[in-house]
Amino acid sequence: MTTAPRRLVVMRHAKAAAVAASDLERGLTERGRADAAEAGRWLRELGVVPDHALVSSAVRTRETWEAMSTAAGWDVAPDIDTGLYSAGPEVTLDLLHELPTDARQVIVVGHNPTVSHVAQLLSDGLGDDAAARAMAQGHPTGACAVFDVTEPWSRLTFGDGRLVAFHAGSD
């Protein structure tokens, strides 16, 4: 019996203001809001309808989620995670291990360099060639890597994701 794939989207927040009272408080620019909405529409066209979202506690990631989910028409309350703000790849993987077992489509909205590292490490190297080439060019603000995974979230490890699509932001 084959397990139906789960879908995982690893996204970098959209373009943020250069300064604020603190890095955590930097919000999106107008372009960032537009890019996040565009990413939401692109994901919706790809058939992504998340049943779970894991979002960093930074203002820019929360605003990215809000603009993206509104444009896509999703009605999912995100899990805002303070640990995701400063997480490295291994901690991000640990957070994925804690996802609900019944989650089928998950979006993670975080920060670079972690997001690009996680996306590269998740890839099994056998996915869509054009998407892999685009992802190898970097992970600009608003970029999304979309993976199919067959392992349960609790056993997901690097190399378990099949890259199916990549959307570059407008940086």
- At residue 128, the 3 state secondary structure works out as coil
Q: What does the pLDDT average to over 31-59?
A: 97
pLDDT at 170 over 80: no
Report d(CA 4, CA 166) in Å as an integer: 21
pTM score: 0.95
pLDDT tier at 3, thresholds 50, 70, 90: low
Question: What is the share, in percent, of the chain residues with pLDDT greater than 70?
Answer: 96
Residues forming beta bridges with residue 9, ordered by sequence position: 107, 146
Report d(CA 46, CA 61) in Å as an integer: 21
Question: 47-102 pLDDT, tens per residue?
Answer: 999 999 999 999 999 999 999 999 999 999 999 999 999 999 999 999 999 999 99
Q: Where in the chain are the domains?
A: 6-167
pLDDT tier at 169, thresholds 50, 70, 90: confident
Element holding 94 (H helix, E strand): helix 89-97
CA 70, 113, 45, 15 dihedral sign is: positive
Question: 129-142 pLDDT, tens per residue?
Answer: 999 999 999 999 99
Among 107, 112, 123, 154, CA closest to 23:
112
- At residue 91, the 3 state secondary structure works out as helix
The CATH number assigned to the domain with range 6-167 reads: 3.40.50.1240
Question: What is the share, in percent, of the chain residues with pLDDT greater than 90?
Answer: 95
Report d(CA 146, CA 84) in Å as an integer: 19
Tell me, what's the pLDDT at 5? Answer: 84
